[in-house]
Amino acid sequence: MNEIELKPHLTREYMLNLLRQMIRIRRFEDRCAELYTKEKIRGFLHLYDGEEAVAVGTIPLLGAEDRLVGTYREHGHALVRGLPMGEVLAEMYGKAEGCSGGRGGSMHLFSDKANFYGGNAIVGGGLPLAVGLALADKMRGENRVTACFFGEGAVAEGEFHESLNLASLWDLPVLFVCENNKYAMGTALERSEAEIDIHKKAESYAIRAEVVDGMDVVAVEAAARRALEQMRETHEPYFLECRTYRFRAHSMFDAQLYRDKAEVEEWRKKGPIVRFQGWLESNGLVHLDEIKAIETDVELEIDAAVAFAEAGTWEPIEELTQHVYAAARPPPPLLPVPSAETMEITYREAVKQAVVDALVRDPRTFLMGEDVGQYGGSYAVSKGLLERFGPERIRDTPLSESGFTGAGIGAGVAGMRPIVELMTVNFSMLALDQIVNTAATLRHMSNGQFGVPLVIRMATGAGRQLAAQHSHSLEGWYAHIPGIRVLAPATLEDARGMLWTALEDPDPVLIFENALLYNRTGLLAANAGPVDIDRAAVRRSGSDITLVTYGGSLFKSLDAAAELAKSGIETEVIDLRSLRPLDMPTIRSSVAKTHRLLIVDEGWRSGSIAAEIGMRIAEEGFLDLDAPPARVCSAEVPIPYARHLEDAALPQAERIVAAVRAMLRKGQG
């Protein structure tokens, strides 16, 4: 933004434009309410009626290069930011001509051209994204601001506190704009917050904050000017609490039984349009014919938008699966011929080499997570990297999984290549919202306008006597989710090479590293490089049965195959490597040869990845089977602490051998 744009210039023409913008939002939303009753707009519809001064007072001050993250009540934000009204309404209709191709609807308006990163149906869900966008800008030395809008209900969410802390800790240029409309859905602020002065929460994170009358567009604009001027000088976050009021229901489904009609009417008397228009009239700055002209022009624009939406087309069903993943992916990597020179190395060191290689190769790459810097990583993968690459690229985070994972997502959206390390898979559940609701959906909901190229690494698995809360194998959960890729490297080659390929991928990739493998030692080719992350690998050939597994269970399966070979049973062992997508052709080809299938999965049996593979083979290769598919999974119990019970709960080589023998006996019978 140019410096001159920060200076007040409330000329008569400018003030008339402020009034026009607020009337434009109000009349548009009035029409949307009518269209909703006619079932032209479906789903949730959250209207901005009464809050127009906040958007109109802040957004025009942002430069075209600045970024904006909205909420589910973002129609006003979108219109002021410059999204064409016809495209906004067409999106609310679900038409292909909508700003998100009809994939997002009312709560998910996107525009890459306008640097509009969408509304977010998850309360507080956009806050970490905004932090990540600003982080990317700071790391590249770009002079941008990211404005993030949210309601007062979001301040109760952990992501609010995690985001403010990160923004303050890392001095990120995020303009936090809280639209305090006094009701989080149907619960009044006084009934949900111990401290109702929301700006004080921001001040507790050492962020400069102020309160502004959100019903006064001039006051909002003056506060926004002060904030942006300060941010341009300091490149630090700023917090505005705009005290406003929504005249309509939380959404069109809301009967508003939680507040009196008299309260609403009292607030309407001091609404932003009534107030500003009255002030202009009393000071002779506007005439009734000018107001009528504004209203006429706005109605004509709305009529044109309705006609555009009505004439829009429905996306063909054949395009249903578009934009789940990027249409264009890089070609498979050129795999080096393994050199004769090898080195003895641990799995841990192989992962570390992969991280170092990524940091050296691509300046956009950085590692962040809990204790990755000074501590060296909870599994010592990043030990020594802080000294080599510095705190900007080896970035210690607070224990705020949702916050820093969301920040990684935002940085990826902005063009960086972050590696986010979650200490263990157990902690990933605290980041589940950001992974499932943002990383996995952003490309699809934005109609391909925004991708999320990042890698999330985490340790997984049991066997270390850490009891139930630190012994999960949840990779099957994540393999259930479209929009992400899920990898499980077992070998040294994959530990070294999967990260390389994953960082080239335009979509989010989750890498699950089995904790029992970190100390495993083997020989690795000195020229080890990228690997193909889309294909399963046959780790042992056989003709009697196909054994499919992944991660830490690979070596138990190979041990079982060796034991079975002593009695003449030749087992083909397939390492899945990728859990999403699954390489079913490799599995089907093996089953067509062996006619039997056993899946070994450290996850629980119910709803497991093993169940998915078995069902697909039943659907696609049933005639190749001489026996029903079988599986060896963890027992249906929280993983116990005592060693003998933990061993009994997990797949072991002995159980695999027994399962194979049982299948062959049944087949022979």
Q: Which of 74, 162, 370, 401 is catalytic?
A: 401
Preceding omega of 581 cis (within 30 degrees of 0):
yes
Radius of gyration of the chain from Cα atoms? Answer: 28
Cβ count within 10 A of residue 469: 10
The whole-angstrom distance between residue 490's C-alpha and the CA centroid of its chain comes to 26
Q: Are residues 81 and 226 in the same domain?
A: yes
Q: Which distant-in-sequence residues (6+ apart) come within 8 Å of 540 by Cβ?
A: 558, 561, 571, 572, 573
Residues 386, 57: Cα–Cα separation, whole Å: 43
Alpha-carbon distance values, 658 to 575, 655, 665 (Å)? 20, 5, 11
Q: Specify the pLDDT at position 1.
A: 34
Question: Maximum CA pair distance of the chain?
Answer: 100
Share of the chain above pLDDT 70, in %: 98
Q: Which of 470, 475, 612, 646 is catalytic?
A: 470
Give the pLDDT mean for 104-132: 94
Q: Specify the pLDDT at position 211.
A: 97
Encode pLDDT of 369-408 as tens digits: 999 999 999 999 999 999 999 999 999 999 999 999 999 9
Comparing 219 with 466, the larger pLDDT belongs to 219
Q: Are residues 417 and 566 in the same domain?
A: no
Q: Specify the pLDDT at position 667.
A: 56
Give the pLDDT mean for 162-174: 98
Q: Are residues 594 and 478 in the same domain?
A: no
Encode pLDDT of 43-79 as tens digits: 998 889 889 999 999 999 999 999 999 999 999 999 9
Among 525, 555, 585, the domain boundary falls at 525
For residue 530, tell me if it sits in a domain: no
Q: Are residues 169 and 220 in the same domain?
A: yes
Q: Specify the pLDDT at position 189.
A: 78
Comparing 190 with 129, the larger pLDDT belongs to 129
Please report where in the chains the tokens 């022009």 appear, as a residue.
Answer: 297
Active site residue 108: no
For residue 318, tell me if it sits in a domain: no
Q: Specify the pLDDT at position 508.
A: 98
Angle at 378 between CA 405 and CA 531, to 5 degrees: 70
Q: Are residues 135 and 267 in the same domain?
A: yes
Give the pairing of strands 537-540 and 630-634.
Answer: unpaired
Q: Which long-range contacts (CB under 8 A, 24 or more apart) does 60-63 make?
A: 60/21, 61/1, 61/5, 61/6, 61/221, 61/224, 61/225, 61/228, 62/1, 62/145, 62/147, 62/228, 63/1, 63/2, 63/5, 63/144, 63/145
For residue 395, tell me if it sits in a domain: yes
Q: Specify the pLDDT at position 9.
A: 62
Q: Are residues 493 and 393 in the same domain?
A: yes
Q: Are residues 162 and 222 in the same domain?
A: yes
Q: What is the CATH number of the domain that holds 264?
A: 3.40.50.970
Residues 470, 127: Cα–Cα separation, whole Å: 28
Encode pLDDT of 439-466 as tens digits: 999 999 999 999 999 999 999 988 888 8
What pLDDT band is residue 5 in, cutting at 50, 70 and 90? very low
Note the helical H segments in 521-583: 553-565
Comparing 430 with 192, the larger pLDDT belongs to 430
What pLDDT band is residue 668 in, cutting at 50, 70 and 90? low
Side-chain-side CA neighbours of 373 within 13 Å: the count stands at: 16
Residues 301, 267: Cα–Cα separation, whole Å: 28
Comparing 358 with 121, the larger pLDDT belongs to 358
Residues 425, 459: Cα–Cα separation, whole Å: 6
Q: Are residues 350 and 499 in the same domain?
A: yes
Mean pLDDT, rounded, of the chain: 93
Among 469, 499, 525, the domain boundary falls at 525
Report yes or no: 280 and 22 within 8 Å, Cβ to Cβ: no
Give the pLDDT mean for 132-161: 95
The answer to which of 245-254, 359-368, 572-581, 585-594 has the lowest mean pLDDT is 245-254
For residue 335, tell me if it sits in a domain: no
- Selection from 414, 457, 415, 417 nearest residue 435 by Cα: 457
Look at the chain and report how many structural domains it folds into. 3
Q: Which distant-in-sequence residues (6+ apart) come within 8 Å of 11 by Cβ?
A: none
Give the pLDDT mean for 361-371: 97
Q: Specify the pLDDT at position 330.
A: 86
Which domain does 72 fall in, by range? 3-312
Among 525, 560, 587, the domain boundary falls at 525
For residue 534, tell me if it sits in a domain: no
The answer to which of 145-154, 264-273, 414-423, 480-489 has the lowest mean pLDDT is 264-273
Q: Is the pLDDT of residue 41 over 50?
A: yes
What pLDDT band is residue 3 in, cutting at 50, 70 and 90? very low
Active site residue 266: no
Q: Are residues 305 and 364 in the same domain?
A: no
Q: Specify the pLDDT at position 329.
A: 87
Give the pLDDT mean for 362-369: 97
Q: What is the DSSP track for 310-340?
A: HH--PPPGGGTTTTSS-S--PPPP-PPPPPS
Report yes or no: 89 and 305 within 8 Å, Cβ to Cβ: yes
Read off the tokens for 255.
């009967």
The answer to which of 71-80, 107-116, 181-190 has the lowest mean pLDDT is 181-190
Residues 138, 411: Cα–Cα separation, whole Å: 10
Comparing 188 with 396, the larger pLDDT belongs to 396
Q: What is the DSSP letter of 393?
A: T
Q: Are residues 347 and 279 in the same domain?
A: no
Q: Are residues 37 and 83 in the same domain?
A: yes
Q: Is the pLDDT of residue 669 over 60?
A: no
For residue 128, tell me if it sits in a domain: yes
Q: Specify the pLDDT at position 524.
A: 95
Encode pLDDT of 514-564 as tens digits: 999 999 999 999 999 999 999 999 999 999 999 999 999 999 999 999 999
Q: Is the pLDDT of residue 252 over 80?
A: no
For residue 123, tell me if it sits in a domain: yes
For residue 320, tell me if it sits in a domain: no
Q: Are residues 382 and 441 in the same domain?
A: yes
